A and B are shown apart, each in its own frame.
Chain A
Amino acid sequence: MSTTPVPAIDDLRTRVRAVLAARLGDAFEAVPSDADLQQALGERYDSLTAMECISAVEEEFGIEVDFVADDVRHWFSTVDLMASFTHDRLEDSAALMEGR
């Protein structure tokens, strides 16, 4: 049974940025991918907005975040970390599929 290859981290980063740009608006465009979003955007990236962004990332990549087991404060603090988290989660899914 073949599985869909996991996208490269650069591709994931690009898609994460597109997902966030749709929710965070123009102010997000200038934020570097390694910048802490809460520090860069202040109240615009509060816990409510973070929740919306996490849901959007879940939907975009078909993954599920566990709000207790996963350290969401850490993994969703920058674009790079989101891309890395997504990459790991997609790799786990792919490995599970291969093992079936």
Chain B
Amino acid sequence: MTAVTTAPRSPEGLGAVTGEPDLWCTYAAVRTLAWLDRTDDLAEPDLTAAYLAGRRNADGGYAWSRGMLSDAWATFYCTQALRDMGRPVTGLEATAGWLRRTWSGDAYAMLPGQGPDVWATHFSVRTAVELCGTPLHDGGRLVRWLAALQGPDGGLGWTPEDARRGNADVRACYYGVMAWRAAVRAGAAATPPWNVPALVAWLRDRQGAEGGFRFSPAAEVPCMWATYRAVGALEALGHAPRDAEACRAWTMRLRGPSGAFVRWEGYDVEDVWASFCAVGTLRALGAPLAPVADAVAARIAAFGCPQGGFTYREPRAAADALSTSAAVLKAVPGQADPGLVRWLEGCQLPNEGGVMYMPGRGSEVRCTLWALAAGAFTGDASARARIVRWLASLQNPDGGFGYWEGRGSDMVSTAAALEIVTLLGATVGEVVDAGAATAFLDSCRRPDENGLAHGNVPGATATLRAGLQAHRALRLLGRDTSGATASLLARHRVRGGGFANEGNRVPDLLSSYEAVLAADRAGLPVDTGHTAAFLARVGTPEGGTAWSPLAPGSGGPLADCLGTLLARRLDEPKAALPALALS
């Protein structure tokens, strides 16, 4: 166990707030209220149900927000939360059809064409069995894949390849066990496919003397998230923690002034995940929920957004790392409020060394890149070294990076990870396995006569942004990609201005930003008049920027930031664009 290097409190300073609901938080809030039998307490049930149902795409899956691709996580959260609210979940046949597209032959991936991981497999087995009521594609192969998650020390890893490297985590244990349990309901063999005594012992060994659990032997502090996942996995296997009473008492101690829960000892915000995990822990322990139900329900009610859905704490105080980074980057250089950067630096919390969208919920590659681009940790060598160590541990066996620990690799995260290494002044080859990273990037190439096209994951449709991100990343790995970049830009250039992610008709802000960034990196000329025409079209009367010519008004702080940076780059050719990406 390594020493705690940061104060485990919520960030101080000045975080930027959007007041928007979040799917992750909405699921946690609804699920917790359902466990407490308090879904009748939902303040805006119709709006929240509309928020959840509105994430549904035409392909039958659900997305984190309208316009994004369907993924396994969002699909489970939306359908499960609607079910918990007692609302109809429509079109489940189409949802089951979408799930089939994510089946790899052994397990489920987060997106069609991506490699499978246990996060996605858990969500999709449960969606298929518990929500859609469909049979498993191949229960035998699924169970064999789940069996291969067990590493030499008894714990489960994120993938079989990861397990062979000895990377076990209580979250992977929980997801593997719950996926198996759902598979049993669909007819799979009822005998757990692991060395159960070894798995139970590994899980029990994560409990500390204080009563809480850690994610892994390397984790810094026990936390509510790890505790719920460990206790939940043990319960599903028919076991209990080595000291169940100490676990219950530790959980009950971690309450704030309102009586709701905090994430770990010393943390000072009673957020939605802490209560979700604490109530889940108490349920798994068989402890009574009545003593905490009123306080938790009242606290969660305070997280509801007027437009429906929930965020992680009171909407007026629910700052996030992307909006805060955007506020810094959008400001005139040197004139951003230093409190914004201080808040971002406070997002580096125990157990994982990066920055997450909302503090206290792990670390995420893209958010860490935005925070670094905004100047966070500039003078903090210790914090920067911690990010490097975290990032190095995140590289998947296929050479790529996913959004966060255990997630399957994708192009956006892999390119962002390499940009982080560069921003931190480290040598790419010393932090990541450069050969493996190159192999992942090449695995995303799509059949194309010129070898230009890449998808976001190995089996995805080719897009401009994935191609340009691949070219940027390959350049950081030492390959000259400028010719390919020039050809790809020509293919997706929209006649009137800007660039389109698919084809060459409808330009959008993310693609146009990525195009200018890629051209600059490749040393290619930028047609400033062409980009200015696009910016004029997506500019709003209030000075904001829309995501596309079709979007109704400003896209919010992230779009406004990208629009400002792009305009600044057109005015000042030396104003290098930061390598910001979202998708």
Contacts and interface: CB of A to CB of B under 8 A. Distances in A.
B1 to A, nearest CB: 48
13 contacts: A47-B547, A47-B551, A51-B506, A54-B550, A66-B495, A67-B496, A67-B537, A67-B549, A68-B498, A68-B537, A69-B496, A72-B550, A73-B552
Given A67-B507, A68-B507, A68-B534, A47 B552 contact: yes
A66 B495 CA distance: 9
7 closest cross-chain pairs (CB), A and B: A68-B496, A47-B550, A68-B497, A47-B551, A69-B496, A67-B549, A50-B550
Contacts of A47: 67, 547-548, 550-552
B164 interface: no
Contacts of B552: 38, 46-47, 73
B533 A67 contact: no
B542 to A, nearest CB: 14
A43 interface: yes
A67 B533 CA distance: 11
Nearest to B494: A68
A43 B360 CA distance: 31
B44 to A, nearest CB: 15
Contacts of B494: 67-68
Nearest to B540: A73
B38 interface: no
A30 interface: no
A16 B380 CA distance: 60
Contact of B67 (A48, A54, A67): A48
A43 to B, nearest CB: 5
A98 B50 CA distance: 51
Given A43-B66, A71-B537, 19 more contacts: A38-B552, A43-B50, A46-B67, A47-B67, A47-B552, A48-B66, A50-B550, A51-B550, A54-B550, A66-B495, A67-B494, A67-B506, A67-B537, A68-B507, A68-B537, A68-B549, A69-B496, A73-B551, A76-B550
Contacts of A71: 537
A50 B547 CA distance: 14
Nearest to B54: A43
A73 B554 CA distance: 12
Contacts of A38: 552
- Residue among B494, B507, B552 with max Cβ neighbours from chain A (10 Å): B552
Contacts of A48: 66-67
A73 B507 contact: no
A68 B497 CA distance: 6
Contacts of B507: 67-68
B242 interface: no
A50 B552 CA distance: 10
Contacts of A51: 506, 550
A12 B478 CA distance: 57
A3 B281 CA distance: 75
B569 interface: no
B248 interface: no
A90 to B, nearest CB: 20
B239 to A, nearest CB: 46
Contacts of B537: 67-68, 71
Interface string A19-54: 000000000000000000010000100111011001
